[in-house]
Amino acid sequence: MEIKVNFISQEKLNGFSTDEKLEFILKEVEKGQILVLERGLKAEEQTKLIEMTMNDVNEKFTGIEMESYIEEKPTFLQKLLGKNSARMTIVGPAGTLKTIYKDKDVIQAVIVGKKK
């Protein structure tokens, strides 16, 4: 079975408000898509995404698998410029994307396809 992985550029997500961005991500994931976000979600956005996911969890959609790296504390200059310090984020449906190993700098995940 083919599984699509969408690599989403920073530019695409920059055009969205936070709510629009998270709604877009959740809608795609609920359709079964796996997304790799070039510029990752900030911790507050991840929390909001978990909240939105929990609202949508049911017997068929059991939630999301999300992986990102530990966010470095923003420097004074980054704070001043309002710069997003988040690194890449991978997000997909819990039943499809499974993390098998993770450390500070490595994320190993497998994509589980259903047999036809």
Partner 1 sequence: MGLFGKLSGWLSSIFGKKHVRIGIYGPPNAGKTTLANRIAMDWAGEIVGEVSEIPHETRKVQKKDRVVIRDGKASLTLDLIDTPGIATKIDYHDFLEFGIDEEDAKQRAKEATEGVIEAIKWLDNVDGVILLMDSTKNPFTQVNITIFGNLEARELPFIIAANKIDMNGSPATLQSAFPQHEVVPISALEGINMDLFYEAILKTFGKKGR
Task: Name which of 2 and 77 has its Cβ closer to partner 1.
Answer: 77
Q: What's the closest the beta carbon of residue 45 comes to partner 1, in angstroms? A: 10
Q: What's the closest the beta carbon of residue 65 comes to partner 1, in angstroms? A: 7
Structure tokens at 38: 């070039």
Q: What's the closest the beta carbon of residue 110 comes to partner 1, in angstroms? A: 16
**Residue 64 and residue 52 in contact, taking contact as beta carbons nearer than 8 Å:** no
Which residues contribute to the site for partner 1 (CB under 8 A)?
42-44, 46-47, 50-51, 53-55, 57, 59, 62-71, 73, 94, 99, 102-104
Question: Angle 12-50-43 (CA atoms, 0-180°, nearest 5)?
Answer: 65
What is the C-alpha to C-alpha distance for residues 92 and 108, in angstroms, rounded to an integer?
Answer: 14
